[in-house]
Amino acid sequence: MGVLSNTRELKEDVLFRSSEGLVGSKWEATVVKYLNRCYRTLATGASEFLPEYVEDWWWLRGKDALNLEPPYTTGTVALTNNSTSITFSPAPVASQAGRRLVIPNEPDKPLVLTHTAGVGAATLDVAWTGDTNTAATFRSLKTTYQLATTVQVVMSPIIIFRSPERIIGVSPERMDELYPLARLDYGIPQAFALETEESVRFSHGGHPEGDYMRVEYRYRPKVVDLVDTSGSIPLVPAQWMHLLADMALTYVLFDKNDDRSNAAALAARTGLAAMIKENRRRLVKMDTLAGKIMPRPRSGSSGAQPPA
């Protein structure tokens, strides 16, 4: 068949090469299911056809931004030992839900579970363990933010327009080691960790001078499932679209006990290997240091290397 450009054409290509009719085949729905299986795994950068490789595809990137909120310190908060109920005075204009409270001389950093903007009453996630205090000064710090709903994986680092300019990604366990909540305070974030696929926790709780801070991040987006129409177009570049058909064909032929499944799998593997090479070639052309081995300077040297 000719150049493949949408899901309907991909499906028909698989049906044709598996010796099925283009209309009325019992395999039509199965083909679309396999196309989605291959599309979703390919979009993660990995594939069972070449499990030894994981790629960040040049054609699958997104970008978004967040405003990090400053600490909220206006007024006081009333807390009662062994109670989840607290009261802000005056009532905060913005909701404090999801923020951590830092109370002077108290070790715990409770999480505000629920709060409505403009209301004084709020609840903590668990009962307050500190002393009862009817007018405690506090800092309310927001450290966790929701990412764009299309985010599959954040590509570290996150850019911030302050020093050190880049917020480095770490694992949640490493975050707990480097920036434990017990020492949580305001400041410019130094690191971030993914709490869930769609939320990120920063090491610090906002600018000390009360300013909002813009951050920008690149990410690998989630892909939308393909449907059997000509308007359903995978994000895969046109020159590599046929790989989805090759991969889906392998599964269909295997299900049919067709000996051609091995040849289809080989075609999918070699095509995928070629796409990986093209992906890395683009990276090398854009970044002259990509894939380059950087020798370590000898101890005591100024960093200069001896002539070749």
Residues 205 and 155 in one domain: yes
Distance CA 32, CA 10 (A): 9
User: Rounded mean pLDDT of 193-201?
Assistant: 93
Contact 72, 93 (CB under 8 A): no
Q: How does residue 308 score in pLDDT terms, banded at 50, 70 and 90?
A: very low
Spacing of C-alpha 49 from chain mean position: 24
Check residue 306 and give its pLDDT: 47
Kindly report the average pLDDT of the chain as a whole number: 92
Residue 171 inside a domain? The answer is yes
Residue 303 inside a domain? The answer is no
Residues 265-278: pLDDT tens digits?
A: 999 999 999 999 99
Residue 158 inside a domain? The answer is yes
H runs (alpha helix) in the chain: 7-17, 28-43, 172-178, 242-255, 261-286
Residue 306 inside a domain? The answer is no
Residues 50 and 27 in one domain: yes
Check residue 3 and give its pLDDT: 83
The least confident of 199-213, 218-232, 247-261, 291-305 is: 291-305
Structural domain count, the chain: 3
The answer on pLDDT for 197 being more than 80 is yes
Residue 291 inside a domain? The answer is no
Domain that holds residue 217: 144-221
Residues 127 and 187 in one domain: no
Specify the pairing of strand 191-196 against strand 166-169.
parallel
Last residue of a domain, one of 221, 244, 266: 221
Check residue 262 and give its pLDDT: 96
Last residue of a domain, one of 118, 141, 164: 141
Residues 151 and 136 in one domain: no
Residue 201 inside a domain? The answer is yes
Check residue 45 and give its pLDDT: 92
Residues 212 and 158 in one domain: yes
Whether the ω angle into residue 157 lies within 30 degrees of 0, i.e. cis, is yes
**Number of H-type helices and E-type strands within the chain:** 5, 14
Last residue of a domain, one of 166, 193, 221: 221
Residues 230 and 251 in one domain: yes
Contact 61, 152 (CB under 8 A): no
Check residue 287 and give its pLDDT: 59
Residues 60-99: pLDDT tens digits?
A: 999 999 999 999 999 999 999 999 999 999 999 999 999 9
User: Rounded mean pLDDT of 30-43?
Assistant: 97
User: Rounded mean pLDDT of 177-186?
Assistant: 96
Residue 281: Cβ within 10 Å count = 12
Residue 235 inside a domain? The answer is yes
Residues 130 and 156 in one domain: no
Residues 237 and 273 in one domain: yes
User: Rounded mean pLDDT of 293-301?
Assistant: 61
pLDDT over 90 percentage in the chain? 86
Residue 27: Cβ within 10 Å count = 18
170 SS3 class: coil
Q: How does residue 297 score in pLDDT terms, banded at 50, 70 and 90?
A: low
Place of tokens 């906002």: 206
Whether the ω angle into residue 110 lies within 30 degrees of 0, i.e. cis, is no
> By C-alpha distance, which of 14, 16, 3 is closest to 36?
14
Residue 25 inside a domain? The answer is yes
Residues 191 and 208 in one domain: yes
Contact 157, 191 (CB under 8 A): no
Residues 100 and 80 in one domain: yes
